[in-house]
């Protein structure tokens, strides 16, 4: 079974808008990671947040982590058409288990 579940399953926005994706997980974690997958391609690592961190930034990405609620969010600010992709959260210790993903469509 999946460790994480993303919400929403799909999201459509206009360029320039912000996109927020949420991830819930089930067990205790050491860290949580977010990945991006362009259609038909492999996954690319975006950002890793440790269990003792609450927020982390990388360029237009902002990730938050709430271990008490077992949830994380990924915010993409000032979205671009090139941000169109699927986004996955992933957690695990010896093996990384991925969530179900959010399909983001950014319209020019």
Partner 1 sequence: GAGVSQSPSNKVTEKGKDVELRCDPISGHTALYWYRQRLGQGLEFLIYFQGNSAPDKSGLPSDRFSAERTGESVSTLTIQRTQQEDSAVYLCASSFGTGGNTGELFFGEGSRLTVL
Bridging pattern class, strands 31-37 and 85-91: antiparallel
Considering only residues 41-80, where is the footprint of partner 1 by CB under 8 A? 41-45, 48
Q: Is residue 100 within the footprint of partner 1 (CB under 8 A)?
A: yes
Distances (CA, A) of 89 to 10, 49, 58: 14, 11, 16
At closest approach, how far in Å is the CB of 39 from partner 1? 10
Tokens of 62: 């902002």
Q: Is residue 83 within the footprint of partner 1 (CB under 8 A)?
A: no
The HSE-up count of residue 88 (CA atoms within 13 Å, CB side) is 18
Cα gap 71→68, rounded to integer Å: 8
Residue of 65, 101, 104, 106 interacting with partner 1 (CB under 8 A): 101
Q: Which of 12-20, 58-66, 72-80, 94-102 is the region at the interface with partner 1 (rule: CB under 8 A)?
A: 94-102
CA-closest candidate to residue 73, choices 37, 29, 25, 26: 25
Residue of 68, 69, 94, 108 interacting with partner 1 (CB under 8 A): 94
Q: Which residues bind partner 1 (CB under 8 A)?
A: 2, 30-31, 33, 35, 41-45, 48, 88, 90, 92-101
């Amino acid at each position: 079974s999946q460790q994480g579940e993303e919400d929403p399953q799909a999201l459509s926005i206009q360029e320039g808008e912000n996109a927020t994706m949420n991830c819930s997980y089930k067990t205790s974690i050491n860290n949580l990671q977010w990945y991006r997958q362009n259609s038909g391609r492999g996954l690319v690592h975006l950002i890793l947040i440790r269990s003792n961190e609450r927020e982390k930034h990388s360029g237009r990405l902002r990730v938050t982590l709430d271990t008490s609620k077992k949830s994380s969010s990924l915010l993409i600010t000032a979205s671009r058409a090139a941000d169109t992709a699927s986004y996955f959260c992933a957690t695990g210790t010896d093996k990384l288990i991925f969530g179900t993903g959010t399909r983001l469509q950014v319209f020019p």
